[in-house]
């Protein structure tokens, strides 16, 4: 007769060995950018409406609590005036800027007062 403890250990060992190759992603998969295809969702959680230029194009209004999507290789400038002359953020913000603060890999970040970036 087989002891119950051995059966439990045998079942546990077989479950671990089956999950082993699938439970740990390969290095290539771990480095993969999960947001590259759909882009980063960026929400305006400042206390004011802002404006932005995408790739030096037209000046768009960015209302408080609204969002836009930025794709890889894009950059934009955020302004506090409707003619996009007075910068709200001192630097260009690229896709990589937002991706760097997305700690939970859900492709969502927010801009807070003072142009602070934060995970959402």
Tell me the per-residue pLDDT of 75-97, one tens digit each, with 9 for 90 and over. 889 999 999 999 999 888 899 99
Q: Is residue 94 part of a domain?
A: yes
Q: Is residue 54 part of a domain?
A: yes
Q: Is residue 29 part of a domain?
A: no
Q: Is residue 51 part of a domain?
A: yes
Q: Is residue 18 part of a domain?
A: no
Question: Cβ distance 76 to 97 under 8 Å?
Answer: no
Residue 19 pLDDT level (bands cut at 50, 70, 90): very low
What per-residue confidence (pLDDT) applies to 22? 44
Here the tokens at position 71 are 């794709």
Examine the pLDDT at 23 and tell me if it is beyond 60: no
What per-residue confidence (pLDDT) applies to 75? 87
Q: Is residue 74 part of a domain?
A: yes
Q: Is residue 107 part of a domain?
A: yes
Mean pLDDT of 33-49: 95
Cα(43)–Cα(21) distance, rounded to whole angstroms? 38
Examine the pLDDT at 39 and tell me if it is beyond 60: yes
Closest C-alpha among 93, 104, 101 to residue 118:
101
Here the tokens at position 37 are 């295809």
What per-residue confidence (pLDDT) applies to 56? 81
Answer yes or no: pTM beyond 0.75. no
Which residue range is the domain that position 55 belongs to?
Answer: 40-119
Number of structural domains found in the chain = 1
Q: Is residue 24 part of a domain?
A: no
């Amino acid at each position: 007769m087989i002891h119950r403890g051995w059966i439990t250990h045998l079942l546990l060992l077989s479950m671990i060995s089956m999950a082993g190759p699938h439970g740990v992603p390969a290095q290539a998969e771990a480095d993969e950018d999960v947001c590259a295809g759909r882009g980063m969702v960026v929400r305006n959680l400042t206390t004011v409406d802002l404006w932005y230029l995408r790739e030096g194009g037209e000046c768009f209004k960015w209302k408080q609590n609204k969002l836009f999507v930025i794709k890889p290789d894009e950059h934009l400038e955020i302004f506090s005036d409707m003619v996009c002359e007075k910068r709200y953020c001192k630097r260009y913000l690229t896709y990589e800027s937002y991706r760097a603060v997305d700690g939970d890999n859900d492709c969502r970040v927010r801009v807070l007062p003072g142009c602070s970036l934060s995970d959402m």
